[in-house]
Amino acid sequence: MFTKAELIDAINELEEGRHSIQNCSKLAAIYIVLDHLYPPEEPQIDRGYSGEMIAPDTGLVERYGDSEFLDAIYRRNSSDMWLLMDELMTTLSVINPRLYDGVMRKINE
C-alpha cells in the first residue's frame, strides 16, 4: 500500500523529469492509483465578501502561467512556497529597498 505522500512525490518526480511516452504511462497509472486510494474531496464552493467564488485550498500551487518561476512551483506545497517568497522579500528589502517598496505598493493597490 502506498501513502498519499509517496504517490504525490512520484508524480512530482515524473512531471519534473524527462518527458517520454513511458513516463507519461507511469504518470497516468500513478494518478489512477492516487484517485482510487485517496479520492478527491468534492470541492466546496465558497463565496467571498464580494460574492465571487473562492476555490478550495488544495495545499498545492495551481498553474497560473508558463514562466520559469511558475513552472518551478507548480503543484508544490503552497505553504512552503509562501515561506520561500517571504524569505526572498526579506532579502529584497535589505538588498534593494526601492524595488521592495515598489512590489509592496503593487500588492497593496
Q: Give me the pLDDT at residue 80, please.
A: 87
Q: Tell me the per-residue pLDDT of 53-93, one tens digit each, with 9 for 90 and over.
A: 545 556 888 888 888 888 888 888 888 888 899 999 999 99
Pairing, β 46-47 against β 53-54: antiparallel
Give how many domains the chain has, as a whole number: 2
Q: Which pLDDT score, from 0 to 100, does residue 103 have?
A: 93
Name the band, by pLDDT with cuts 50, 70 and 90, for residue 99: very high
- Is residue 45 in some structural domain? no
- Residue 7 pLDDT exceeds 70: yes
Strand pairing partners for 46?
Answer: 54
Query: Which residues constitute the domain of residue 71?
Result: 58-109
Residues 33 and 65 in one domain: no
- For 29-59, what is each residue's pLDDT tens digit? 888 888 888 887 655 545 555 555 545 556 8
Task: Write b or e for each residue in 75-102: b if 16 or more Cβ atoms lie within 10 A of its Cβ, otherwise e.
Answer: eeeeeeeeeeeeeeeeebeeeeeeebee
